[in-house]
A and B are shown apart, each in its own frame.
Chain A
Amino acid sequence: MALRTVLVADVPSLPDSVYGLSEGLDMSKPTSFKMPGFSVIGHRGNGMNVLQSSDRRTRGFKENSILSFNSAAKFPIDFIEFDVQVTKDDFPVIFHDDFIYSQENGIINESRVTDLRLSEFLLYGPQKEAEKIGKTLMRKSKEGQVLKWDVDSDDPLCTLQEAFERVEQSLGFNIELKFDDKIVYEREFLVHVLRTVLQVVFDYAKDRPVIFSSFQPDAAQLVRELQSTYPVYFLTDAGNQMYKDERRNSLEEAIKVCLEGKLQGIVSEVKGVFRNPSAIAKIKESNLSLLTYGKLNNVGEAVYMQYVMGIEGVIVDFVEEISESVTLMMIRPPSPSSPLPSSASKDDVAIARPEFSQKEIDFLLKLLSQLIQH
């Protein structure tokens, strides 16, 4: 595929209504971006898979698949999030882990996704053609166990292009640009990978809202240099783990990365925010948007607290439950496509959406930040 520099002037102009902003993005100033209302974002579609968990919901739909994306689209959410890597022959595919595992004749095989060609990648897991049998897809857990990647509703691996073509058109995509945290990447290489992804986006996105995000600070800043059509967020785990690259280690560092690179916002691990609620004010003062991810976002009360604190959206695994409680809490008004559950009484709404004074909220936050640290 020939490399084509994407000039700012070549970028197709998008209808102003894409983000509900009347002016679209003005490239001459550092552009701030606000999510339309409080957003619920489906993690890897309809939720990540946790194979060793006793909770069946984490083994429902195969994560990061067209089936998962379209089942999430049935709920009142604005975006789904998924991970994109680029194969050896320059095809952007959707897969979370750096390595992909299969089992043949009792032997476990491990391959780096970015070392595979597209045709090799697509051999893993269920196949599109009914008669074909793919390689048995396995997954390695954090603890090092390699398990069969069994889920209730499986689906073949897919490319970024397929996602644009086959997923419900009104559903926004939060495209996480995935890189190996342990590798130091050269700028040239990053530019090549990002341009490959951007080419697919510009060719196939049409009217679909898109947001880019990455944990890799240089990649995040680069994708902003290479295009200013779509907002870019910097992902951080806000200090839960320490990395060699200082820029990954705190919310304060994340703010710097955004300001230096003219990014639109931060996606932070949720505990990092609760541990450090004063960072929220700093983020807002810098005109940055704030979203969160993490297991705690599957708890309705934690989502409510974040809404109250001015966070603009949450990435969640339990899409059905959380989008329903967000509707119940009247955080989003019920609409014809997502009415209040008919079983909900006035009392249910009152309980789901307690009214707290500012002092009570401060107390709740102080309490929460202490509990999370212990």
Chain B
Amino acid sequence: MALSVSSAKLSTGVEDDKMQEAFVFPKFVVMGHRGFGMNMLQSPDEKMKSVKENSILSFNAAADFPIEFVEFDVQVTRDGCPVIFHDNFIFTQEQGVIIEKRVTEMALHEFFSYGPQKDGANVNPMFRKTKDGRIFQWNVAKDDPLCTLKDAFVKVKSSQGFNIELKFDDNIVYGEEELRQTLENILKVVDEHAENRPIIFSSFHPDAAQLIRKLQISYPVFFLTNGGCEIYADVRRNSLDEAIKICKEGGLQGIVSEAKAILRTPNAITRVKDSKLSLISYGQLNNVVEVVYLQYMMGVEGVIADMVMEISEAIASIEVRSEEDDEEDDGRKCLILLGEENKKVRISNDAIAFLTKFVPKTTLFVQQ
């Protein structure tokens, strides 16, 4: 396991300057998005509908590949139990009508009543609403029951790291007391069951991210941002520079950003590193091998991806060579060899410099 226990846990009760020690991943990390990849029911791609996202089955399937963490979303039920689910609402059918129920307003036993049961029955099948308002039956090739955060600690391979995203509704303004209560419920489960498992906390909610850091310093905390790909009322959510501020103010360890935001302004990577913060990315672009290679070359420290198999294998086959080692050196600066043995592509510093200038201009021009 790449992260040793001592790097994942910082000693408790230490003064400020020790807490500001930069957190660094020992090598480029690949994290499985919601386990073995999110479900996208409207996609023609079968891979986006193969294993139920955010399930024990998905987490253990991802653990078979050379990845360091699985990422998943945690919310807390009405009766205080942290569960793993992405959407704010569960869609279900009652007397032929599709209705929505807020996860945080249901008790645990009701949450468990939805979707496939442990005995295989599926009395209350789940539906899902896409961003454009269409409703689909939540059918996947390999289904699995809903689970709690505790279930994950107990049933998932113990060497698999967890990137625990603290999920909140982007449209709700939460009071500090409510946030604290929710985070304390989650921390209770983590403290009881984490043992030696590497753990990272993350959140899009700026106050929640800063609060979880105040409540504990054992595990690194990352601030999630889409870096301006969408604009929110809370300006702290709207750019990479705002994200850097949140991290510095709150003593957070790093940023998880939408890949597009990073590609649009590659010099933000330097600003993040200069602030002694770690930088990883998420988003659909991370399922494209070449885009992941590009981020690797630009200095991003890791990616959250759905295509766990393809991306983890692509990263595993990167070889870095310096000028002296390279027999085929034709006089150009040589940096990285990418790809499988018979398809190695040598990418020079010139190519990286070219791409760094070029890529931001392409993503800008895409919306014409």
Contact B365 A295 (CB under 8 A): yes
Return chain A residues, CB-CB under 8 Å to B284: 374
**Residue contact B361 to A366, C-beta cutoff 8 Å:** no
Which residue of B288, B290, B346, B354 is within 8 Å of A354 (Cβ)? B354
**A338 vs B22: C-alpha distance in the bound complex, in angstroms?**
52
A97 at the interface (CB under 8 A from B): no
Decide if A357 touches B363 in the complex (CB within 8 Å): no
Contact of A359 among B263, B346, B362 (CB under 8 A): B346
* Bound Cα distance A357, B335 (Å): 14
Chain B CB count within 10 A is highest, among A299, A351, A372, for A299
Contact flag A360-B346 (CB < 8 Å), given A299-B361, A370-B288, A374-B285: yes
Q: Does B348 sit within 8 A of A, measured CB to CB?
A: yes
CB of B365 within 8 A of CB of A360, answer: no
Contact of B362 among A240, A355, A368 (CB under 8 A): A368
Given the contacts A301-B358, A360-B347, A374-B260, A367 and B290 also touching, CB distance less than 8 Å: yes
Q: Mark B324-363, 1 if CB is under 8 A from A, else 0.
A: 0000000010000010000001111011011101110111
A 256-300 contacts with B by CB, 8 A: 271, 294-296, 299
Asked whether A360 and B358 contact (CB < 8 A) given A370-B288, A371-B366, A372-B366, the answer is no
Give, as a whole number of angstroms, the nearest-CB distance from B65 to chain A. Answer: 22
Confirm or deny: B291 has a beta carbon within 8 angstroms of a beta carbon on chain A: yes
From A270, which residue of chain B is reached at the shortest CB distance?
A: B365
Residues in A whose Cβ lies below 8 Å from that of B260: 374
Given A301-B358, A359-B345, A367-B291, verify A351-B351 contact (CB < 8 Å): no
Closest residue on chain B to residue A142 by CB atoms: B368
Contact (Cβ within 8 A) B361 A354: no
List, in ascending order, chain A residues with CB within 8 A of B368's CB. Answer: 240, 271, 294-295
A365→B358 CA distance, assembly (Å): 12
Q: Is B294 an interface residue (CB 8 A)?
A: yes
Task: Give the shortest distance, in Å, between B229 (CB) and chain A (any CB).
Answer: 11
**Chain B residues, Cβ within 8 Å of A299:** 358, 361-362, 365
A residues less than 8 Å from B347 (CB atoms): 360, 363
Q: Interface range on chain A: under 10, 10 to 19, 20 to 34, or 35 or more?
A: 20 to 34
Cross-chain contact A302 with B358 (CB below 8 angstroms) = yes
Beta-carbon contacts under 8 Å, A334-374 to B: 351, 354-357, 359-360, 362-364, 366-368, 370-372, 374
Name the one of A240, A296, A351, A371 contacting B359, with C-beta atoms under 8 angstroms: A371
A351 contact set on B, CB distance < 8 A: 353
With the chains together, A87 CA to B354 CA distance in Å?
A: 48
Least CB separation from A374: chain B residue: B285
8 A Cβ contacts from B244-295 to A? 260, 263, 284-285, 288, 290-291, 293-294
Q: Would you call A367 and B350 a contact (CB within 8 A)?
A: no
Complex interface: chain B residues within 8 A of A294 (CB) = 368
Q: Of A271, A295, A355, A367, which contacts B355 at CB under 8 A?
A: A367
Do B361 and A301 touch across chains, with their CB atoms under 8 A apart? yes
Question: Is the CB–CB distance between B290 and A356 below 8 Å?
Answer: no
Contacts of A367 on B, CB cut-off 8 Å? Answer: 288, 290-291, 294, 355, 359
- Is the pair B263, A371 in contact by a Cβ cutoff of 8 Å? yes
With A301-B357, A354-B350, A354-B351 known as contacts, the answer to whether A371 contacts B363 (CB < 8 A) is yes
In contact, B355 and A364 (Cβ under 8 angstroms): yes
Q: Which of A356, A359, A367 has the most CB of B within 10 A?
A: A367
Task: Kindly list chain B residues whose C-beta atoms are within 8 Å of the C-beta of A372.
Answer: 362, 366
B350 contacts A355, CB within 8 Å? yes
**Contact: B362 with A371, CB < 8 Å?**
yes
Q: For residue A359, which residues in chain B have a CB less than 8 angstroms away from its CB? A: 345-346
Rounded to whole Å, the gap between the CB of B209 and the closest CB of chain A is 27
Identify the closest chain A residue to B263 (Cβ): A371
CA distance A364 to B332 in the complex (A): 17
Measured in the bound complex, the distance between the Cα atoms of B345 and A362 in whole Å is 9
Rounded to whole Å, the gap between the CB of A48 and the closest CB of chain B is 13
**Which parts of A126-147 form the interface with B (CB within 8 Å)?**
none
Interface flags for A286-330 (1: CB within 8 Å of B; 0: not) read: 000000001110010110010000000000000000000000000
B290 close to A363 (CB less than 8 A): yes
Q: Is A360 a contact partner of B353 (Cβ separation < 8 A)?
A: no
Chain A residues whose C-beta falls within 8 Å of the C-beta of B351 in the assembled complex: 354, 356, 360, 363-364
How many whole Å from A140's CB to the nearest CB in chain B? 18
Residue contact B366 to A370, C-beta cutoff 8 Å = no
Chain A residues within 8 Å of B362, by CB: 296, 299, 302, 368, 371-372
How far is A296 from B368 in the complex, measured between Cα atoms in Å?
10
A269 to chain B, nearest CB (A): 9
Please measure, in the bound complex, the distance between the C-alpha atom of A90 and the C-alpha atom of B163, giving whole angstroms. 71
Given A299-B358, A371-B359, A374-B260: A356 in contact with B350 (beta carbons within 8 A): yes
CB distance from B357 to the nearest CB of A (A): 6
> Are B345 and A360 interface neighbours, CB within 8 A?
yes
Which residue in chain A gives the minimum CB-CB distance to B344? A359
Instruction: For B285, list chain A residues within 8 Å (CB).
Output: 370-371, 374
CA distance A360 to B358 in the complex (A): 15
Let me know if A296 and B357 touch, CB within 8 A: no
Which residues on A sit within 8 Å (CB–CB) of B353? 351, 354
CB-nearest residue of chain B to A371: B362
| Contact flag A370-B354 (CB < 8 Å), given A296-B362, A355-B332 | no
- Measuring CB to CB, which residues of chain B are less than 8 angstroms from any residue of chain A? 260, 263, 284-285, 288, 290-291, 293-294, 332, 338, 345-348, 350-351, 353-355, 357-359, 361-363, 365-366, 368
8 closest A-B pairs by CB: A301-B358, A367-B290, A354-B350, A299-B361, A370-B288, A359-B345, A296-B365, A371-B362
Supply 12 A–B pairs (Cβ within 8 Å), ascending by A. A240-B368, A296-B362, A299-B365, A301-B354, A302-B361, A359-B345, A363-B293, A363-B338, A366-B290, A370-B285, A374-B284, A374-B285
Known A356-B350, A359-B346, A371-B363; further 8 A-B contacts with Cβ < 8 A: A271-B366, A299-B365, A356-B351, A360-B345, A360-B351, A364-B354, A366-B290, A371-B285
Residues of A at the B interface (CB closer than 8 Å) are: 240, 271, 294-296, 299, 301-302, 305, 351, 354-357, 359-360, 362-364, 366-368, 370-372, 374
